[in-house]
Amino acid sequence: MENSLFSCISSNPEETLALGENLAGRLGPGRVIALRGALGAGKTVFAQGVARGLGVEETVTSPTFPIISEYEGTLPFYHIDAYRLKGDADFRNLGGEELLEGSGVVLIEWSENISRSIPKSAIIVEIRILEDGRRGIQISGGEGM
């Protein structure tokens, strides 16, 4: 998937979940997924799919209030919600950069809020709400994958 581009249409949350689960099967330690999309686009559903694909058995919810949630699976899974962060300095102050260099998989919702902290090797997932309610999902990047 090196520097590739994959686009698809998701007709329902189950398909979005399955897409995240499928991507998880290609991930190894140290991978970062940067999620982008409007409120309600399906970012957390995609994150739940990634978690399921990594063998996480806990219920994965939006980490808006704790900002960083950690789960155990076949690899550690860090789910970050950067919605309330005011920039890269906030992310650094939370210790977020250390997670990016760790041995787990890091998934960041609202990654555009901390764009300077996102590694160039990150997998970028953009989810758009289409006029008919379906979701347009584009996955790019992931160099070295």
- The pLDDT tens digits for 65-119 are 778 899 999 999 999 999 988 899 999 888 888 888 888 999 999 999 999 999 9
Q: Residue 54 pLDDT more than 60?
A: yes
The pLDDT of residue 46 is 97
**CATH superfamily of the domain spanning 4-141:** P-loop containing nucleotide triphosphate hydrolases (3.40.50.300)
Quote the CA–CA distance of 50 and 107 in Å, as a whole number: 9
Q: What are 105's strand-pairing partners?
A: 77
Q: Which of 7-11, 53-57, 100-104 has the lowest mean pLDDT?
A: 100-104
The pLDDT of residue 113 is 93
3-state SS string for 81-143? ECCCCCCHHHHHHCCHHHHHCCCCEEEEECHHHHHHHCCCCCEEEEEEECCCCCEEEEEEECC
Phi first, then psi, for residue 143 (nearest 5°) are: -55, 145
- The pLDDT tens digits for 10-28 are 999 999 999 999 999 999 9
